[in-house]
Structure 1
Amino acid sequence: MKIHVKALVVGGGAVGTAIAYHLGKAGWDTMLLERDELTSGSTWHAAGLLPYFNMSYATTHIHDYSIKFYKTLEEETGLNPGFFVVGNLRMAQTQERMDEYMLYASTAETCGVPYEWLSPSQIAERWPLLRTEDLKGAIFHPTDGYINPADVTMAMAKGARQHGVTVERRWQVDAYDWTGSEWRVTVTKMAEKGGNLVPTEERQVITAEHVVTATGNHAQRTAKLLGIKIPAIPVEHQYIVTEPDPALVAWRNEGNPQHPVLRDADAKWYVREERGGWILGPYERNAPARFEYGVPDSFRADLFPLDLERIEEEYMSMIHRIPSSEEVGLKDDYNGPICYTPDGNPLLGPAPGLRNMWLAEGFSFGITAAGGAGKYLADLMVEGEAEIDMGALDPRRYGDWMTTEYAARKNEEAYEHVYILHHPDEERPACRPLRTSPAYDRQKAEGAQFGHVNGWERPNYYAPAGFDDHAARSFRRGGWWQYAADEARAIREAAGLIDASAFTKHLVRGPGATAFLDWFTCNRLPKVGRINLTYALTVAGTVRTEYTIVRLAEDEYYLISSGALTAYDGDYLRKAAEDKRDAFGWIDIHDVTTQWGVFAIAGPKSRDILKEIVKDADPDTVLGNKRFPWLSMRNIELGMCPVRAVRVAYTGELGWELHHPIEMQNYLWDQLMAAGGKHGLKLVGARAQNWLRQEKSYRAFGNELGRDATPLEAGLDRFVDTSKEFHGKQAMLDTGIRFKCVTLLVDGPEDADPWGREALYDGATRVGRLTSGGFSVAFGKSIGMGYVAPDRAAPGTKLQVKMFDRLWDAEVIEDSPYDPENRAIRADG
């Protein structure tokens, strides 16, 4: 066994072997350790399906890479990975399900994924064993199918060895220790005794510059060894294998090909052929989480007892869809652990708080994702950044507030939701409310319909008593749409109050703070009492984080960033500061997110409302442009509440962000509500705010801004000071302009707006994709933002948006189409 490597991969399932393969291919000296045998975790009992279907742009790329990569393995390694390219037929019983497929299909087009539409009669003609009279249609992926999980894992392991990777079995990791420059990993040799796997006296210490954990069901043990939280906990997944179906056997004996992998999403199952019979895999309700605190030592390649009553409904629906299966007996059954995360996406990227420790955990669709996960994580490790934005998969998207109980219950929900309609406006209910601002009960009493961001409850919109948010969801304009439109108009015409308390807030101060932030971000730093919008870049010159920086003193700064990514931003900020402490001096960083609440008040009447309650010797001028100009911060008093007021508005109207001590939030809320009544103040949620910011072409992090585009490609040249040196500058300049961010007005359907996942066309040529979408109250039509080829970015360019399998006219318009001269936001009083 080697005792020093550049990269140590822990875990010998499909994901671990794929990562080892790609690290070896990149030239890194790599070793893979497996505590038992390769594939002995969830890989061995996986059904081996390779579904393209995913609403995430990044995950679609990962799945696409896997499917293409697996087709190359036999030529490279000589081992057949057992890939049956039979296609994937995803059926729909309702028009709403077809709407979901059409939204997904437009996303798939942006990644170059092929698909076909089939009518019920076409399905019946191709596959007469299926009952189709109650279907609306289906989407068919001809290029995927299913694969043998053990075979593809062994093929990747052989390929890894061919690239110089060492593979060691029966070694268990018992300790990780960071020396400041490398990891010391203590491992114990395991042996089989009485059917169990037990540690021996043989131990070894391996040093590695980088460690990757791909420990699957053992993620909770890994978390304890590392002293971090990993919300990857298995959930029971069962599937059954039938005896041969005579009708299917006859069909195949007639020379017909295999059926595609069948998915009846409304019935919550998948089915595929298996040696003349069928495999049924349901995603039923009430599947329990297992191993919340670790896998028992006695559990190896084991299974749980089958619970047929739990899947009875899904079993009967299979018989309905494939009538010939009714008389077929059961041959085998499997009920094994499959790891999930609270949002269903894997945890792929840097471990929070640790150096050179990488997580690849929580793969509920591990076979589908393994190849792409290996490729893009290796890119991230070797090159410093991947070509796709990995932010949606980053392990730091969950903070320390997350508990084992939360992860277990949300993972059960994620399992149950595999085939539940994925509305773009969906809000899943498990474990909520959990993180609430003090004004939560007041907002709820006013009709707030909440979403959640990083666990925080945040009003999406306000509706009358008795309104059913779940029933209001749709792939078109849901029942909430009119309320959001009214809220948006209120901000344009009078005033609106938005709870933005979920914003991430960091205090950065100390002798090295100014030099550090000047290097860390691409814009000029503001003067004391002023603010600036700026960006921290990746090593590739793309956007890593968006910050509003408020300068409180010469060496003290208040940083405001996305509420969804507190741990993600904080971890990167702290590590960067540690790296530069010797160069710049002492830097103190505090996460003060939960200490400060934030209300955003915006609209032409917002100054009048604040004048009612501001305490100052001259209340008529304290909020005017002379004493309180746009893009500045002042400490003011609203009644008895001290407020750090920031004159900025994400809606593009006159407005302020009112940062206040969180314990005084209810008092401030009551003051604002009382003062706002005669000025037409309306409570406003996040959806209206999202529409309004698009009318100003304000880019949103996680939409227009991410790790796959530079700030220059995002059209943020005015926030980049190329006269100074900053992290990622040269890479940004070297990248050039591959595509441009644009704003478009869309002549779309009367009952729908784009969601920001749609493909953009110029005639028959796909030229880009939307990253945001919604409705513009100012222009009375749909609006969107996205990226297009540079030669299609000029205002006036006519394009089309793919919605509901149709192309709808759209036009590129000038940035900030609403109030381009910023007269409203600069208005004096």
Structure 2
Amino acid sequence: VLAGLYNPGDGHIDPYSLTMALAAGARKYGAQLNYPVQVTNLKSRSDGTWDVETPLGIIRAKRIVNAAGFWARDIGKMIGLQHPLIPVHHQYVVTSTIPEVKALKTELPVIRDLEGSYYLRQERDGLLFGPYESEEKMKLQDSWVTNGVPPGFGKELFESDLDRIMEHIEAAMEMVPVLKKADIVNTIAGPITYSPDILPMVGPHQGVRNYWVAIGFGYGIIHAGGIGKYLSDWILEGEPPFDLIELDPNRYGKWTTREYTAAKARESYGFNNIVGYPKEERFAGRPTERTSGLYDLLKSECSMGFHAGWEQPHWFYKPGDETGYKPSFRRTNWFDPVGREYKQVMEKVGVIDLSPFGKFKVKGSDSVKLLDHLFANVVPKVGSTNISHMLTPRGKVYAELTVSQLYPGEFMLITGSGSELHDLRWIEEEVMRGGYKVEIENVTDEMGVLGVAGPYARQILQKLTREDLSDADETVNLVCVTGELGWELYHRKEDSVALYSAIMEAGQKEGIDNFGTYALNALRLEKGFRAWGAEMNCDTNPLEAGLEYFVKLNK
């Protein structure tokens, strides 16, 4: 052992006792608990309330919170949702009394051995330890995904399989030698529910009114108190008490298929105890159906990154570069190429695939009224674009979007790839609450986006259009994420290759070249452009984030 981290506040708790304590507390404050009662169907009503059908009758509810554990996927299916969840077989082993453990004056701390991939703690006078097998050896309960949880399944367990975890048992014995003499008295194999990235899904769900989730808790009851408080505060106050975008259920979408969920769950379970690196990429289940029109053309020329299901170039290869994904805590193979791409945009001109941007069309008789209500900035005039922010009731920055009025009353809203359904849900909720007469169309998957930026951007694009680009003013720079002179070209996804080829051909004389999102991020930071999720989120107000220019206090 070279080093370890000790947490004096670490410990463990009996899940059954905690559950009973929480139930008693809930009853004390007026909650009505019905158990056991099976939910047989859910029906949404036109006023946003729900009918919850049970064998004992119908319960009318203002909102639904799906906290159904490994039944959560079945509940989602009742209303047409395919929650990306899959049960994993997890085993732990309990030993008989160990004299050396019994003789201890204080309880052992919980041990997590990352190399051996197991946890270990004291259980009465013996020890309990549980491993996380590799993705090749671990076992999924696939049948529950396709056929649902077997009727009546509750406290039952799976059949144990010590052979599957033997290498981890041996690692634990090496680290804690008293295990070698201990007898195994119990092996427990039960279901834990995994999401693709192992993180739970917590909050309201896009596309369904008053439907909330608290599902996919791969680490179990340890999250119960915090998540319960977080959700109740959000429901009562109308906004999240603090930012937890990593747990947003809307980070997943239609691209999250059963095959993808299974592949990622295997990977996440097998990687449970690995060391994580900055800018980490994981490759199971990729690519999804979300590929831009340029993916096949560019995939061999660059290192791709994963953005909300999309594949997007992080950086591009040149002869002599060390290619591929090489994670490190120090400067790695992408450092010099990204500097090269940065210089390319600053001194010449670069092209970047920005197709993963979230894209919404909004139109209707109340479209201007809606956007004036939604955003802290003014509504742009026809043919104009601005940066606008949606603020929570307490004045926190919920989202940042680019707003363009294409025609009178018809708008295009652009947001980051990771915020697509997060932002759409908030907009849809405000539409319902205010009764606005608008149509909202999510065109994210249908439209491609190419960014062209750098000192020569104007003269290259001028070769491809009859429109006079010479009168482009500072507004153009504001919406170019690099902070340099540039344009974002929105087009049909199927036209991406033709458009890209035309731009690259037109820019040969000016030395045009590709650049990726790593260089883009460096460029925007140097320019002082803030990004939602990095320099601002639901924990910051617009003044703290330096957004005074975009917030009109006299609206």
TM-score (norm 1): 0.64
Check whether the contact 2:454–2:484 (CA below 8 A) recurs between aligned residues.
yes
Instruction: Report 1:642-661 matches (<5 A).
Output: 648-661=479-492
1:703 to 534, 540, 546: 534
Q: Is 1:138 aligned to residue 4 of structure 2?
A: yes
Over aligned residues, Cα RMSD in angstroms?
Answer: 1.9
- 2:408 equivalent to 1:554: yes
2:362 aligned counterpart, secondary structure: strand
Q: CA deviation at 1:469?
A: 3.5
CA contact (8 A) 1:647 1:656 kept: no
Name the SS for the 1:429 alignment partner. coil
**Residue number in structure 1 paired with 2:469:** 623
Partner residue of 2:169? Answer: 315
Question: 1:109 — aligned with what?
Answer: none
Q: 1:428-473: per-residue Cα shift (whole Å, max 9, x none)?
A: 1111011211211221232x11111110001111235784544x11
Q: Take 1:551 and 1:179, find their aligned partners in 2: how far apart are those partners?
A: 34
CA distance in 2, matches of 1:490, 1:147: 57
Are 1:590 and 2:456 counterparts? no
State the alpha-carbon separation in 1 of the partners of residues 318 and 16 from structure 2: 55
Q: Identity of aligned pairs, percent? A: 38
* 1:439 corresponds to which of 291, 294, 297: 294
Q: How far apart are the structure 2 equivalents of 1:539 and 1:367? A: 31
Runs (4 or more) in structure 1 with deviation over 6 Å come to none
For 2:57 and 2:33, how far apart are their aligned partners in 1?
Answer: 15
Give the partner amino acid of 2:44.
Answer: W
2:66, 2:214 within 8 Å by CA — same for their partners in 1?
A: yes
Give me the whole-angstrom Cα distance separating, in 1, the residues matched to 2:342 and 2:100.
Answer: 59
Match of 1:817 in 2: none
1:180-211 deviations in whole A, cap 9, x for unaligned?
332211112xxxxxxxxxxxxxx211112122
Q: Does 1:260 align with 2:120?
A: no
Match of 1:713 among 522, 544, 548: 544
Contact between 2:402 and 2:479, CA under 8 Å: does it hold in 1? no
Check if 1:458 corresponds to 2:312.
Answer: yes
* 1:689 aligns to 2:540 (yes or no): no
Could you tell me how far apart the structure 2 residues matched to 1:700 and 1:315 are?
46
Which among 332, 341, 346 is matched to residue 478 of structure 1? 332
User: Is residue 187 of structure 1 aligned with residue 54 of structure 2?
Assistant: yes
Q: Does 1:219 align with 2:72?
A: yes
Q: Deviations over 1:466-511 (max 9, x none)?
A: 84544x1123323322222222222122222111000000111111
- 1:680 deviates by 2.8
Residues 215-244 of structure 1, C-alpha deviation per residue, up to 9 Å, x if partnerless? 000011101112222112221111111233
Gaps of at least 5 residues in structure 1 are 1-131, 189-202, 633-645, 725-829
| C-alpha distance in 2 between matches for 1:282 and 1:523 | 52
> Among residues 563, 580, 587, which one is paired with 2:434 in the alignment?
580
Give the residue type in structure 2 aligned to 1:221. Answer: D
Give the superposition deviation at 1:324: 2.4
Deviation of 1:694 after TM superposition, in Å, equals: 1.1
Q: Deviations over 1:635-675 (max 9, x none)?
A: xxxxxxxxxxx973211111111112211111112222223
Q: How many residues align?
A: 547
Alpha-carbon distance, 1:389 to partner = 0.9
- With over 3 angstroms needed to count, the CA separation of the structure-2 counterparts of 1:652 and 1:261, relative to structure 1, is same
5 Å-filtered alignment, 1:123-162, equals: 132=1, 135=2, 137-162=3-28
1:140 alignment partner, SS class: coil
Which amino acid in structure 1 is aligned with residue 40 of structure 2?
Answer: D
What is the correspondence of 1:740-779 to structure 2 with a 5 Å cutoff? none
Query: Is contact 1:219–1:233 with CA below 8 Å preserved after alignment?
Result: no
C-alpha deviations, 1:507-533, integer Å up to 9, x for none? 111111111111111101111111000
1:261-296: CA deviations, max 9, x gaps?
001112211111112322121111132322213211
Q: Does 1:491 align with 2:322?
A: no
The secondary structure found in structure 2 opposite 1:601 is: strand
Q: Per the alignment, in what secondary structure is the counterpart of residue 231 of structure 1?
A: coil
Q: In structure 2, how many angstroms separate the alpha carbons of the residues matched to 1:334 and 1:570?
A: 43
SS in 1 for 2:209: coil
Tell me which residue corresponds to 2:377.
523
State the SS of the aligned residue for 1:342. coil
- Give the Å deviation of 1:605: 2.3
The one-letter code matched in structure 1 to 2:95 is T
**Distance in 2 (alpha carbons) for counterparts of 1:647 and 1:393:** 31
C-alpha contact 1:438 1:662 (8 A) present in aligned 2: yes
For 1:153, the aligned partner's letter is: T
Q: How far did 1:352 drift?
A: 2.4
TM-score with structure 2 length normalisation? 0.94
| Matched-pair contact (CA < 8 Å) for 2:322–2:333 | no
Q: Could you tell me whether the CA contact under 8 Å between 1:384 and 1:540 is conserved in 2? A: no
Give the drift of 1:354.
2.0
The structure with the greater share of residues assigned to strand is 1
SS in 1 for 2:491: strand
543, 549, 559: which one aligns with 2:397: 543
Letter in 2 for 1:703: A
Per-residue deviation, 1:396: 1.4
- Listed one character per residue, the Cα deviations across residues 367-392 of structure 1 (whole Å, up to 9, x for unaligned) are 22111000000000111123211322
Q: CA separation in 2, counterparts of 1:462 and 1:335? A: 46
